[in-house]
Structure 1
Amino acid sequence: MIKRFLSLEWKQFRRASYFQKGIAIKILLFLAVLYFGGIAIFVGGAMFFGLKKIFPEIDPIVMVNNFLIYWILFELMIRYFMQQLPVMNIKPLMIIPIKRNTVIHYLLGKTMLSFFNFISPLFLLPFSIVLLFQGYPVANVILWFFALMSITMSINFLNFLINKSNTVFYGIAVMVIVIVALKYFNLFDVTEPVGKIFNGLYNQPYLAIIPLLIVVGLYKANFNFIRKGFYLDGAVSKKIKEVNATDLSWMDRFGSVAPFLKNDIKMITRNARPKQVVLMSFFFLFYGLFFFTQKVYIEEMPYLLGFASIFITGGFLLSFGQLVPSWDSEYYKLLMSQNIPYRQYLESKWYLMVFAVIVAFILSTPYLYFGMDIYLIIAAGALFNIGLNTFITLFGGALNRVPIELDTKAKAFSNTNGFNPTQLLIALPKLILPIIIFFIPYHFISFNAGLIALALSGVIGMVFKNFFLNKIEQVYQKGKYKTIAAFSEKK
């Protein structure tokens, strides 16, 4: 039966319209995996000697164990925002004699083949091999590595629960915030006590059975969670909800784009997925605390401050904006059948992103605590986001043809965090361009020259707003029917 599932998925993947369209992106993504995978292997192999040189008085295995907790938290965060959860069209399978348990085991098995499950082995396997060549006990090293791989799989299944259950997500989020806050304010360092646990896994190899039992427990929890909703009536029935009308008449002042803006506001306030993204964009405001509190960035690498300023005011743009027009995928065909100019649709998205940048800039006022120079670079980053990043984001939307199911709570098998490689490619100029614009005048002239260049680039973008929107509209019009066809498919 598993073989048949694999055959069906391959046929669905090969016959879909996005297969041939995404060949170039798939090749680039594969090359990126090879590149970063090679770097991970090299770093893993050199990590022992690097730690030995930097901390000669501490055993490298002890140093790695002490900081594994931060790697685990980082991996959990990356998985939550980027890992694609298993998707399968289960409705046809519910009316034919196939055991539910078989389908669920197959879905959970797919998660074990995720690329994210191979990140830790790429680092830790070379490191473990070096340990063996350096004369460390074979059984200790092998079972320690086995325990860490079990922890990686535990994170994999825990991520599944986090994405499907708000209760689990908020619990983990609170725990992470508490750990970081205690460390930041020097109240309690979790490194040493947690490091003792990982050192215990190395010194007492038989304890490797504990992470394995955790994997089994989380697998069982996921299995039970999915099985509860694995019923035909649960998959096809719709819950009737009472919708409270919101007075958005004040938006009529925006003229012809007002209906689109109202539609976006209603979509955000009434659906789970947009709410999650808006909440995530709020946390981007705190990104500057990582840079502005470190002297190394202010004194030695100030050009990276421009990079930080983009995140502070561009959280909504980078998270919500990159998924335009996928937010409208469920009714995109109806939207495009109306007698409305495409330009108005795109301009409404632009106004929404601009409004979000302005709100984020106002909320960033407390950064004045770090000095006027810091606040000015945030202002320059806001102008860059409005004048250039908004247009780059809209242009990238023309290449984004991955549909989104808005209410992720409604279906247990929805792709709640689908990661589209196109988004990554389009995100690169949005992140690299401000660094280049700021660095060149900063390096050859002064810090203020970098500020002016970054702000001026945004102003120029706003001056040529109509030109950019017209060009972007042409791209959207050219791929209009391809987008409609892609959104009509069920992935």
Structure 2
Amino acid sequence: MRARQHLFVWIFLGIMSLCLGFILVTTGWFFDRFSILIQPGVEPAALINRFLLPVFLGLFGLRFLFQRTPARYLRPYLHLPVARSHLIRFFQATSLLSLHNIGPLVFLLPFWSRHVLGVYPLPGALAWLTGIVMLLVAANFANLVCRTLLARHERSFLFFLALLTALVYVDDLAGTRYVQTYSAHLFDTLLQTQISTLLLVLLLPVWTTLASGHLLLKQLRRAEEIPASTRRWSLPRFLRRGAYSPLVLLELRLIVRNRRPRHYLLISLLFSTLYLIFLLASPFTRGEVILGGVIGLFASGGFVLNYGQLMFSWESSFFDGLLVRPLAPRRTITAKMLLLQGSCLVLFLLSAPLFLWLKPALVPLHVAFLFYNAGITTVLVLFLALRNRQYVDVSRSGAFFNYEGFSAAHWLWFFPTAVPPSMLLFVMRDAPATGLLWLGGAGLVSLLATPLWITLFTHLFARRRRGMAEGFRRRRHR
């Protein structure tokens, strides 16, 4: 049965990849028809040169979140009689085959063949394509540099990231568009075969390759792992009362004291603040309904979608010990439900001033999604978490996004969570207030039915907990 499920998932992902590849190839080949709609009278190459660098920066953000680093694959081979520098170079080379490098070329190669090659002199066309490839290689190894720096200097890196994000936002808000201007200058001079620009794009990947290799080697030579945080803290006394507060406090301590769950908390806070500013400040009109759904879902439900998916897996190292404690399953489920629902309220309060400042018209959407996330998203995510069987090492240091414990179901689960509210808002786009009322009302009804959901999840947990423990043990000892 499980083999059939995996086969279905791979077939589905294969079909989706083929469709996406066809769209990218077609768009690149017939880009001249789209450029007329975007900016008439401008050559396709001149138009796309303005946006290549901003697009690469955006793709670098996705690469930083999702691309796996060679450090994850190096450790099982360290006992072999092979020099570590050779292992690093081998896995650096294999990382170039990532979809993050191949995907942009699926669009850019047809574009280059149709709109650059034969239109501009051959040396300029080859220099332009070389610049594209070299920037992708540089981005690949720059991602390794950023992840390694983050693992060793977390606070400094996050401060620098916040500062860079603020500068890019100010550039966009002020209308100066320095990034677009520099992008146009960079690729226009490549088309003119300017030697200094070509040397720059050739030296950049060399530097990032050497820097990433040096940092990875230095990281492997560290004798000890970064110890887990031993900071002691507790909730205020009035919050420590009740039957569920100790369990909630225990989960919060797990988050704060361990690197990986703490990163999920940080990314949720960053999305609800810094990234939300970009989304709210953008002048979206045509895709306002869909984008509004995404904004509302993550603004108050980011922690649920990030951290909640791996609930119970976070405790896989000591899950057997939890099972033998005199703790009723209902208390465990209730505490986790309260933590997820409480996170929705906290993120709602943190992001509400941004909605009031940048997009006051979206405040009703923010309120409606508060009820939807607290009432429905938490239920869907906790139902998924009760199917977790994969071990997660919460103390492992390293990359910012370590996807140990994730399966295809975790990625596909986003669709039943995000698509229904977006589709409802799209269908009710002519009566948005009614759509938000239906959305918030459904969430409120589900929120009021929390005791019923807790009863259901308690039965599921009591029935599945031994299978979960067996899966955690089996995968831990592999």
| RMSD of aligned alpha carbons | 3.2
- In the alignment, which residue of structure 1 is the partner of 2:438? 453
| Aligned-residue offset at 1:58 | 2.1
- In the alignment, which residue of structure 2 is the partner of 1:128? 112
Establish whether residue 84 from structure 1 lines up as the match of residue 71 from structure 2.
Answer: no
- In the alignment, which residue of structure 1 is the partner of 2:145? 161
Aligned 8 A contact 1:251 1:262 in 2 = no
Query: CA separation of 1:80/1:346 partners in 2, compared to 1, >3 Å: closer, same or farther?
Result: farther
- Taking the TM superposition and a 5 Å limit, the aligned residue runs for 1:87-98 are 88=72, 90=74, 93-98=77-82
Query: CA separation of 1:296/1:222 partners in 2, compared to 1, >3 Å: closer, same or farther?
Result: closer
Q: Which of 330, 346, 352 is the equivalent residue of 1:365?
A: 352
| Aligned-residue offset at 1:386 | 0.6
Aligned 8 A contact 1:25 1:421 in 2 = yes
Establish whether residue 468 from structure 1 lines up as the match of residue 453 from structure 2.
Answer: yes
**Whole-angstrom distance in 2 between the partners of 1:222 and 1:92:** 20
Aligned letter for 2:440?
Answer: A
- In the alignment, which residue of structure 1 is the partner of 2:26? 42
Query: CA separation of 1:240/1:146 partners in 2, compared to 1, >3 Å: closer, same or farther?
Result: closer
Aligned 8 A contact 1:386 1:458 in 2 = yes
**Whole-angstrom distance in 1 between the partners of 2:199 and 2:411:** 38
Q: Which of 182, 191, 196 is the equivalent residue of 1:193?
A: 182
- In the alignment, which residue of structure 2 is the partner of 1:398? 386
Q: 1:79-129 deviations in whole A, cap 9, x for unaligned?
A: 122222235565564444222222222222232121111111011011011
- In the alignment, which residue of structure 1 is the partner of 2:173? 184
Aligned 8 A contact 2:264 2:306 in 1 = yes
Query: CA separation of 1:205/1:124 partners in 2, compared to 1, >3 Å: closer, same or farther?
Result: farther
Aligned 8 A contact 1:62 1:199 in 2 = yes
| Aligned-residue offset at 1:407 | 3.9
| Aligned-residue offset at 1:388 | 0.3
User: Which 5+ residue runs of structure 2 have no aligned equivalent?
Assistant: 151-155
Aligned letter for 1:397?
Answer: A
- Taking the TM superposition and a 5 Å limit, the aligned residue runs for 1:97-136 are 97-131=81-115, 135-136=119-120
Moved more, 169-178 or 286-295: 286-295
Aligned 8 A contact 2:260 2:402 in 1 = yes
Q: 1:163-184 deviations in whole A, cap 9, x for unaligned?
A: 2213456435422330222221
Aligned 8 A contact 1:139 1:205 in 2 = no
| Aligned-residue offset at 1:319 | 2.0
Aligned 8 A contact 2:66 2:401 in 1 = no
| Aligned-residue offset at 1:476 | 4.6
Establish whether residue 378 from structure 1 lines up as the match of residue 363 from structure 2.
Answer: no
- In the alignment, which residue of structure 1 is the partner of 2:153? none
| TM-score (structure 2 length as normaliser) | 0.86
- In the alignment, which residue of structure 1 is the partner of 2:376? 388
| TM-score (structure 1 length as normaliser) | 0.84
Q: Tell me the number of residue pairs that the alignment of Structure 1 and Structure 2 aligns.
A: 466
- In the alignment, which residue of structure 1 is the partner of 2:42? 58
| Aligned-residue offset at 1:383 | 0.4
Aligned letter for 1:33?
Answer: S
Aligned 8 A contact 1:88 1:107 in 2 = no
- Taking the TM superposition and a 5 Å limit, the aligned residue runs for 1:57-456 are 57-86=41-70, 88=72, 90=74, 93-131=77-115, 135-166=119-150, 167=156, 170-187=159-176, 189-204=178-193, 206=195, 207-231=197-221, 234=223, 237=224, 243-248=230-235, 250-255=238-243, 257-286=244-273, 289=277, 292-293=280-281, 296-297=284-285, 301-302=288-289, 304-366=291-353, 367-369=355-357, 373-409=361-397, 412=398, 416=402, 420-441=407-428, 443=430, 446-456=431-441
Query: CA separation of 1:417/1:51 partners in 2, compared to 1, >3 Å: closer, same or farther?
Result: same
Query: CA separation of 1:284/1:407 partners in 2, compared to 1, >3 Å: closer, same or farther?
Result: same
Aligned 8 A contact 1:140 1:204 in 2 = yes
Query: CA separation of 1:210/1:260 partners in 2, compared to 1, >3 Å: closer, same or farther?
Result: same
Q: 1:320-360 deviations in whole A, cap 9, x for unaligned?
A: 22332332233334334444334433322221111111112
Query: CA separation of 1:455/1:19 partners in 2, compared to 1, >3 Å: closer, same or farther?
Result: same
Aligned 8 A contact 2:289 2:422 in 1 = no
**Whole-angstrom distance in 2 between the partners of 1:284 and 1:407:** 24
Query: CA separation of 1:334/1:27 partners in 2, compared to 1, >3 Å: closer, same or farther?
Result: farther
**Whole-angstrom distance in 1 between the partners of 2:146 and 2:284:** 35
**Whole-angstrom distance in 2 between the partners of 1:450 and 1:20:** 38
- In the alignment, which residue of structure 2 is the partner of 1:9? none
**Whole-angstrom distance in 2 between the partners of 1:53 and 1:247:** 58
Q: 1:430-486 deviations in whole A, cap 9, x for unaligned?
A: 21111233444554xx33221210111011112322333344445555554554454
Aligned 8 A contact 1:83 1:417 in 2 = no
Aligned 8 A contact 1:143 1:208 in 2 = yes
**Whole-angstrom distance in 1 between the partners of 2:281 and 2:400:** 40
User: Which 5+ residue runs of structure 1 have no aligned equivalent?
Assistant: 1-16
**Whole-angstrom distance in 2 between the partners of 1:160 and 1:41:** 29
Query: CA separation of 1:393/1:272 partners in 2, compared to 1, >3 Å: closer, same or farther?
Result: same
- In the alignment, which residue of structure 2 is the partner of 1:4? none
Q: Aligned with 1:364: secondary structure?
A: helix
Identity of aligned residues (%): 21
Moved more, 363-372 or 373-382: 363-372
**Whole-angstrom distance in 2 between the partners of 1:137 and 1:28:** 43
Aligned letter for 1:377?
Answer: L
